[in-house]
Amino acid sequence: MSCIYKIKQASSSFTATEKRIADYILNNREQALTFTTQRLAEETGTSAAATIRFAQKLGYKGITAMKLDLAKDEDESDELFNVLIEKTDSVEVMVKKIQKISERNIQQTYKLLDITNLKNAIDKVKHAKNIYLIGVGGSGIVCIDFMQKLTRINRNVIYHEDFDVLLARLAHISKEDILIAISYSGETQMVNLAVDYAKENEVPVIAITQYNVKSTLSKNADIKLYTPIEEKELRLGAISSRNSALVLTDLIYYGIAKENFNETKSALTKTRSLIHKLKKNK
């Protein structure tokens, strides 16, 4: 059942306050998707608590869950581009399907984004002595990309594709460090093992995972950055979840880079200069 349908179905039981919130969402869906809870309250002349109660009355755990469902409503009428790839698809149809999937996924990633959590994540990473990354498979690719970016601006990042080697490094993690754990399911055993160890040592944990407050990773993380839930049977090799995670790590990277622009520019210049010199001497 869609969010819009739930609102319309429950309209007869709304209080005057709830009706204001409902009317605003129905008439300003795009804005409602991008607003924080406080901003939505201001626009509707209500309170943050009232907007949360409204979402809960519709059966959602909170505003974020309601917004995720609301985002899906935009695509309900578009049945042509099912996310599953068919054997009979032409290359042209395949391209259009993947384009649709990618666009929808990125839009939902931004709509799910909690700016306060992002700011907290940037601040934690910025002040960490060492930045530990943990991720397996497609999430490991995100870790490698993030490690390369942060290394270029002179941040001390620790990641290794060999989990035994990474565990050996994690053994020395301290409360001055931070662990960024990336797992779509939130139930990857090796990732949660690392998170448990970090928590035992009072190390802050940032999770990049699907929107599921009941997952082990979501429960144990201090800061959560969510990717959209992919409900189809075929996840296309985790392409969508990987792209969402890349968006979130890029946002953390840009947030750190902009804090001291001159220092960032200097670090990037040094990195490029050395790489160019080494390539030239090959």
- Give pLDDT tens digits for 25-45: 988 887 888 888 999 999 999
pTM exceeding 0.75 = no
Give Cα 69 to chain centroid, integer Å: 16
More confident residue, 74 or 186: 186
Whether 282 has a pLDDT exceeding 80, the answer reads no
Sheet with 223-227, side-by-side order of all strands: 157-158, 131-135, 178-182, 205-210, 223-227
Rg, the chain, Cα only: 21
How many Cβ atoms sit within 10 Å of the Cβ of residue 109? 23
Whether 16 has a pLDDT exceeding 80, the answer reads yes
- Give pLDDT tens digits for 163-206: 889 988 999 999 999 999 999 989 999 999 999 999 999 999 99
- Give pLDDT tens digits for 106-154: 888 998 899 999 999 999 999 999 999 999 988 999 999 999 999 988 8
Half-sphere exposure of 200 (CA within 13 A, CB side): 10
CA distance 222 to 229: 20
